[in-house]
Each structure stands twice: as C-alpha cells, then as structure tokens.
Amino acid sequence: MTKTLITEVQDNIATVTLNRPTKKNAMSFDMMRDLVETAKTLATTDGLRAVILTGADHCFCAGIDLESLMAIVPKIDEIRESILNPPQGEAANEFQAPATIWSSLNVPVIAALEGVAFGAGAQLALGADFRIATPDTRFSIMEAKWGLIPDMGISQSLPKLVRADIAMELIMTGRILDATEAQNIGLITRLSDDPLAEAVTLAKTLSTKSPDALKAAKKLVNGTWGCGEAGLKLEAELQAAIIGQPNQMEMVMAVMGKREPKFK
C-alpha cells in the first residue's frame, strides 16, 4: 500500500486501486509517483500473472487533481524542463511514466472502469492492455479543457486503438463519450455490469496460458502495431524464443491431457 493506492495480490493477480475517493480518485503528483513505484515493484514480484487497475468507491479517475495543476504555475519553467528531459536512460518523462509503465510489465494489465475516466484517468486506462467498463462509464481525453494536449503517453496508446481523424477529434474537443460509443470506436474492450469481477475472470483465464506466450504476445502487439513488415522479424524472433521451451511444451501437454498447466 502507498499513500494514494491500495495494492493487493491474491492468486498471483495484483489489484491496484486508486484510493482518493473524496476526490473521485483524481490524480495528484503523489499518485503519479506511487503508480510508477507500484508498477516497478510488481515487475519484480515472483509468480505474478496479471494486474488489475481500478478505482475506489465505484469511480476510476476524474483526471488531474486541480490542486496539483495549480501548484505548477509558479514553477512552470521547472515543469517544462522536466517534460523535455526524461530521467537518464528512460524514454518517458515523469508525467508519461505513470501511464506508459504498465506496457513494460511482462503480464497482462486490465483496467476495470466505473464512473468516469477523464483526462489523466483516461490515459492511465489507455495504458492498460484491456479496458472493461460499466455501461454508464463516461470517458474523455479531456486535456483540451485546460488548453493542453494529452501528454501521458497518448502517442503510444491511441494509434493502436482508433483512426487518426477520430483521435484528433477526441484530443481537440475533449468531449465526453458514453461507454457504448467508447467501445464502438475501440477505446473500451468490453462492457460489463461488474467490471472488476469481469477483470478478475479475464485475469484468471489468462493465468492458465503460458507466461512466456503472454509476455511475447504483449511485446508483439506493443512493438509492431502499425509498423508493417518490420513486425515480421520481431514476430519470428519472439516465436523462436518460445517454441519448444518448457512452458510452451507444458501448455501443449496440458491441453492434450485435459488438465490445468503447471508452469515454471
């Protein structure tokens, strides 16, 4: 547990809950740091098979915390410097990392959405591999409201999900989508009356698959989506590294034996 998050691990599935319910889980700078540190911890957790991101009190995240937003005004030059200069050896700056770091985990990451996913909350959700939402969830890439563009890794997530003209319209207008429209254009994976339970079910299903194959599948999509024939080389390299290895063979034997696999 951190200052702004509750993290629980059960049956090798981690549930990370944004825990600022009185603020509709609005993202403070403390929460940004906690998200990164939590992801780094989970990345080294032995046996972890999936991660679920959710929000306390039936709300995912209302966006950037206004107090945090106003606090940067007196030190805008320092903030601008931080935006332009990621930590040494990192591609993402400190504002991008809370959303982009989840793609670097070797396990599937599922966002369970209720209430609202606005601004920073939408970008965090887009940083997950899957998004499951209640039918009444509202979704918005809302930074235009503040005269800004989304800057938490939107360039990495949105191109895999929607057409360029749709992305531009959402970014320029900041309009609020209902869950049905968000699903129809590709932002939400599926709808459920109980997205957290659905996320747990999906996580358990994925846990029955070879962790090597899941890791490679995630790298394949994240590393090649939209890059054309260059993806064929990575596809071959990833498959060559998996095929015939113990976990891949165990998956075959488990299917043939009609039993649960036991991975190393």
What is the pLDDT at residue 227?
A: 65
What is the pLDDT at residue 1?
A: 65
134: which residues sit within 8 A by CB, 6+ positions away?
Answer: 113, 114, 179, 191, 192, 193, 194, 195
What is the pLDDT at residue 229?
A: 63
Instruction: List per-residue pLDDT tens for the chain, 264 residues long.
Output: 679 999 999 999 999 999 999 999 999 999 999 999 999 999 999 999 999 999 999 999 999 998 887 888 788 888 888 888 889 988 898 999 999 999 999 999 999 999 999 999 999 999 999 999 999 999 999 999 888 899 898 888 898 999 999 999 999 999 999 999 999 999 999 999 999 999 999 999 999 999 999 999 999 998 887 666 677 777 788 888 888 899 988 988 998 899 999 998
- H-helix segments, 51-194: 66-71, 76-84, 97-100, 120-126, 154-157, 164-173, 179-184
Give me 7's structure tokens: 């993290």
Contact 65/25 with Cβ under 8 angstroms?
A: no
Residue type, 143: E
SS3 assignment, position 142:
helix
How deeply is 116 buried, as exposed, middle or buried, from its count of CB atoms within 10 A (0-12, 13-18, 19+)? buried
The pTM score is 0.92
Contact 80/25 with Cβ under 8 angstroms?
A: no
Q: Cα separation of 256 and 193, whole Å?
A: 35
* DSSP for 195-252, written as a single string: HHHHHHHHHHHHHTS-HHHHHHHHHHHHHHTT-TTHHHHHHHHHHHHHTTSHHHHHHH
